[in-house]
Amino acid sequence: MELMYVVELVVEGHNPFERAVAHVADWLSDPEAPLTPDDLVSNGARELSPAWTPDGRHARNGEWEVLGTGDHRALKMLVSQAVGTDLELSTRVSVTDVDGVVRCRVGIGRETTTQRLIPVGTTRIYQPRILRSLDGDDSLTLRAGGQIVNGRYIAVRTTTEAVTVANILASEDRLPLALIHVRSPDTWNLARELSRKLLGLVRTVTVNFETARVIAEAQPEVRVPFGGLSIVWPGMGARTLTFSAEEISELGVEEIRHFLTRRLGALAALGNGEDRAWRRVRSLAENVLLAELSEKASRAREGGDTQGEISALKQQVETLEAAKAELEAIGEEAFQQADQSARLARQLESERNQAREETGVWRTAYQNLAAGKPTADPEPDDPWSLVPMLVPRTDPEKTFLAITDAASERIVFTDRARKSWSSIAYPEPEDMTEKLKALARAAMVLYDGEEKSIPHLDDWLKDKFGLTVALTDQNISKWKRKDMRWLNGFQFEGRTLDATPHVKVRDAVKFNECGRIHFALEGKGQEGRLVVQHVGVKAYS
């Protein structure tokens, strides 16, 4: 069998073993083929609920084994499904409790069901739902290699956070890091996808233009492409794997996720091929059983019970043969060398991948040169110059994300802000764009964490950034208070904010030309930001 994917997690919390087993049962159950935790307290086998993938519906069968001795216990589930005429996919899930440490291990492998020598194509690997179920259980905490893992990306917004990330990059005791410069819808979707569907294989970290620059200054070999992705390996012993903004756009989020799942899953399988926790519980249970059978044989011998002695000895032989068969099935001899060879294997793997990647880079560069194209886009010195202009009656998300990135996330935009611009045909989009950029620059200074004297914020915004700002509006806060609740008392990321303050983009003109940018002031110091709730025309007539 070819082992293609392994994730092993330490599960902590309230009754972690029982809850993990319950999640296994729920994962494999449906009304037509129910499976409960009570079914998994002893050995068994049955047809399971079908698996649904983008490739279609696949029938599944499962068999499981339960072990227990003293304070140690374990459940091992083997789920098999046909994914082609001559190919079978197997998912092995074990839940173990050894010395009070509960682990859940998921491995995916494939093998042919025929002896014929025929080509086998790439098998797409999808994260089993059991991992998402464990992550979604608020009573449990998951760890991989000592790190807390979950389905959320880590947002690195400040230079202090960037320095912290740079300091841990050289550590070997960590998961690979996916550093994503988020400044487009594609990169935000990629961050969400990788954090949810590469659980236990990689930690996803989002950076902006400024924090990416700080990391690159501290670790020159770790440069996140502008609007792109970098995979930084533990210890940085292998070259960083990168995807440019253009490659992300061309390949798409799903294809990149598939590529990384296959690459990272295979590397995890290479270094963690043996289920050591299961083997320990199995070995302890076998030792206890052999000791009991030996005692039984001795008593029978002393009592002259020849048949009883033969029966006990026969059971001992059967137990040893079963253990031998399992060792042969999982290739125990190879796994005994895993610790010594894992580091060398990873090194050879990285060197081979690096050679392949460099070959691809040179091939692409040659093709571009032959076509008269530049080999690479230069990294911009000024992200503000690449902010797209707003276009009336279109989704402003690209512009908003680019402004958020350039301002080091000192300004953010709500869904309501996007909708407010998408629904209008504002006649001066260039002016609105420039006002948003000026407001974002002001947010960077306002929330840079340095002490400053600002007696009157509206005067400061006018003098320093040329913005005409009203901090109050009686129509919004008093006369139309209930009607304007979407503006003066809206919810954003768990907080109630007031976006009565607004920039007057144009005034004393027709109503459909009277531009407004409504924003709330959230927090203070380096942790503060402006939250924009409305970009469009005046909110009331």
**Burial 232-243, CB ≥16 within 10 A → b, else e:** bbbeeebbbbbb
Q: Which residues contact 300 (CB under 8 A, 6 or more apart)?
A: 306, 307, 308, 309, 311, 312
Please report which confidence band the pLDDT of residue 336 belongs to, taking 50, 70 and 90 as the band edges.
Answer: very low
Q: How far is CA 524 from CA 159, 356, 443, in A?
A: 16, 48, 11
Confidence (pLDDT) at 313: 63
pLDDT digit string, tens, across residues 288-324: 666 666 767 677 777 777 777 677 667 656 656 565 5
Cα–Cα distance, 496 to 416 (Å, whole number): 14
pLDDT band at 362 (very low <50, low <70, confident <90, very high): very low
Give dist(CA 536, CA 292) in Å, integer: 80
Amino acid type, 499 = A
The lowest-confidence range among 55-64, 169-178, 429-438 is 55-64
Cα–Cα dist 24/93, whole Å: 8
CA distances from 3 to 107, 298, 529 (A): 7, 43, 47
Length of the chain: 541
Q: Rounded to an integer, what distance in angstroms lies between the CA atom of residue 241 and that of residue 272?
A: 22
Nearest to 354 by CA among 236, 256, 434: 236
Q: Which of 128-137, 190-199, 331-340 has the lowest mean pLDDT?
A: 331-340
Write out pLDDT tens, residues 198-243.
Answer: 999 999 999 999 999 999 999 999 999 999 999 999 998 888 999 9
How far apart are the C-alpha atoms of 201 and 8, rounded to whole Å?
Answer: 9
Report which of 320, 319, 302, 301 is spatially closest to residue 310, judged by C-alpha positions.
301
**The two structure tokens encoding residue 524:** 């203070």
* CA 392/CA 426 separation, integer angstroms: 6
| pTM as predicted | 0.81
Task: Specify the higher pLDDT residue, 335 or 389.
Answer: 389
The answer to whether residue 86 scores a pLDDT higher than 70 is no
Backbone dihedral region for residue 518 (phi beyond 0: left; psi -120 to 50: alpha; all else: beta): beta
Residue 74 Cα distances to 29, 144, 540, angstroms: 20, 19, 65
Q: How far apart are CA 109 and CA 2, in angstroms?
A: 5
pLDDT band at 26 (very low <50, low <70, confident <90, very high): very high
Residue type, 230: S
From 124-133, 161-170, 171-180, 353-362, the region with the lowest mean pLDDT: 353-362
Q: What's the half-sphere exposure (Cβ side, CA atoms, 13 Å) at 521? A: 18
Q: What order do you get walking across the sheet with 411-413 strand by strand?
A: 411-413, 529-537, 515-522, 502-504, 469-470
User: How do 2-13 and 72-84 pair as beta strands?
Assistant: unpaired
What is the residue-averaged pLDDT of the chain? 85
Residue 444 Cα to chain centre, angstroms: 29
Which range among 161-175, 287-301, 439-453 shows the weakest confidence by mean pLDDT? 287-301
